[in-house]
Amino acid sequence: MRYRPLGRTGIKVSPFALGAMMFATSFGNPDPDDSIRIIHKALDAGINFIDTADVYGDSEEVVGRALRGRRDNVVLATKMGRPMGDDPNRQGASRRWVMTAVENSLRRLGTDHIDLFQIHRPDPDTDVEETLSALTDLIRSGKVRAIGSSTMPASDIVEAQWVAERRGLERFHTEQPPYSILNRGIESEVLPVAQRFGMGTLVWSPLAQGLLTGRVRRGQHNDLRRAGLFRHLNDERRLDAVERLIPVAEKAGLPMTHLAMAFAIAHPGVTSAIIGPRTMEHFDDLLAGVDVTLTDEILDQIDEIVPPGTDVGALDQAYRPPALLRPDLRRRPVTERSAA
């Protein structure tokens, strides 16, 4: 395993990070002992980076059990900020919730510190200085080693860096955006900005939430597509791109999963790509491709199918800023329009 620097933190991590969302017994692997075996196999294979979140059901508890006796060999990352119930104060990035959430995660993980504590989604209702101030206190207390953001627009990343510098606060050391062959939008600004500020980048959904496994094809109807649970699995534009990518993988002699993962970690701005296996079979398939390197010829072919910096459709879990979600932020009041 060839380890990479996690930004400028001095921490070294594997190019594959083990995502623990599917270890939640409520919606992932119902057998925690099986999940623990997967975690142990990942550690034995040299993967030293594990990423989870408070909102992933009992994932943190499963990870905590797996790391007993091996905690010091793992770079442990978790996230907070997404709603943890109906209480409006049990979400977001306020100092009040940051301080509570970290204690909850420490307890569930069974550890006295978190190596990378991340804000799961931007919180437009909280001043970033408030968030960074709270996170700075956590680093100074020793409960957190490094801090990061997730799905943060490039302009917000820049603002957070400037606020940290002006106020003498800890800055975000990492960013966790979505990235895959089908979703390359972060190549335009997010990755260059992260590189400029020396941030590590931990990308999620390198398999485009299952589309780049090769198991979802045009004209085929599996249970997920019939159930309509994931809109992106029925996006004709994305399916067209997959059909064009499959021959590229076949000509290269690679499974689609290996092509997709090798692409995700080929960008110089990407530190690690998160794999999210639910079963040992899934993990073994992904692990077999950890040393795959794509040639310039293959990358050029991918560029022709999905041009750099573009997205083909959108992920179901993609972050959409308030400026796009709220009509009142992009429409002048009727009285002003009438006057014009």
Query: Per the residue annotation, which of 3, 56, 179, 319 is the catalytic one?
Result: 56
Handedness of CA 251, 257, 258, 262 (dihedral sign): positive
Largest CA distance in the chain: 70
Rounded-to-integer distance, Cα 318 and Cα 312, Å: 13
Rounded-to-integer distance, Cα 49 and Cα 339, Å: 58
Rounded-to-integer distance, Cα 150 and Cα 21, Å: 15
Known active-site residue 179? no
Rounded-to-integer distance, Cα 6 and Cα 334, Å: 49
Q: Count Cβ neighbours within 10 Å for each residue of 70-92 and write b for 16 or more, e otherwise.
A: ebeebbbbbbbbbebeeeeebbb
Return the HEC string of 117-161. Answer: EEECCCCCCCCHHHHHHHHHHHHHHCCEEEEEEECCCHHHHHHHH
Give the relative orientation of helices 280-287 and 256-264 as an angle to the nearest 10 degrees: 60
Asked if 97 contacts 135 with a C-beta cutoff of 8 angstroms, the reply is no
Q: Which of 230, 148, 151, 211 is nearest to 185 (CA)?
A: 151
Asked if 38 contacts 45 with a C-beta cutoff of 8 angstroms, the reply is no
Dihedral, CA of residue 156, residue 185, residue 255 and residue 6, to nearest 10: -30
User: What are the beta bridge partners of residue 78?
Assistant: 117
Strands in 48-113 per DSSP E: 49-51, 75-80
Q: Which residues are known to be catalytic?
A: 56
